[in-house]
Amino acid sequence: MTDQADIAGKLDLPPPSQVCIVVRDLQQAAAHYGNLLKIGPFVFPKIVYKNITYRGQPSDGYWEMAFARMGHLELELSCPVRTPSIYEDFLNEQGEGLHHLGFDIEDLDATIARAESLGIDVLMSGRTDQGGFAHLDTTKTGGTILELIQRPAPRV
């Protein structure tokens, strides 16, 4: 892997639009953030991904998500349901907590190609009819994964 200094500049990323916390119980976590921290309301969309990859291999991993607006950021809660997924890996290795920062981008394929040209691997990716996502292995820089998100609009 090459030097990841100024990764946002090298990938031409906009400011972050999302922060994700991995949780063990989606409903309980949404209630916690809503009741105790006054974040919400949460929406619980059923997003169908196609062509999911996990560490470069096809995957049928599945996770559920909840989203709420948190100022300028979208808060995502992700809960693994079926392995393999990087969310399950995270829970097993670190427990619940901050998982990734998300960036809404225009061209997922072009940004993935730029990341790969810098030696940055894609940990997990998937597609929808309207775009998709890719989690980049950027944990050596700041300890946090970066997610590239291509979609028509934020969920909340």
Domain count, the chain: 1
Predicted confidence (pLDDT) per residue in 47-75, tens digit: 889 899 999 999 999 999 999 999 999 99
Residue 35 lies in a domain: yes
- Structural domain containing residue 92: 7-150
What would the pLDDT profile of 142-155 be if each residue is shown by its tens digit? 778 999 999 987 77
- CA distances to 18, 20, 122, 154 from 13, rounded to whole Å, are 13, 17, 16, 16
In a domain, 156, yes or no: no
Q: Is 117 exposed, middle or buried (0-12, 13-18, 19+ CB in 10 A)?
A: exposed
Residue 99 above 50 pLDDT? yes
pTM equals 0.92
Provide the token pair at 57. 């291999």
Listed in sequence order, the residues at least 6 apart from 98 whose beta carbon sits closer than 8 Å to its beta carbon are: 19, 20, 21, 144
Does residue 146 lie within any of the structural domains? yes
**Residue 124 belongs to a domain:** yes
Does residue 77 lie within any of the structural domains? yes
- The answer as to whether 1 is a domain residue is no
CATH of the domain at 101: 3.10.180.10
Residue 2 lies in a domain: no
Type and span of the H or E element at 14: none
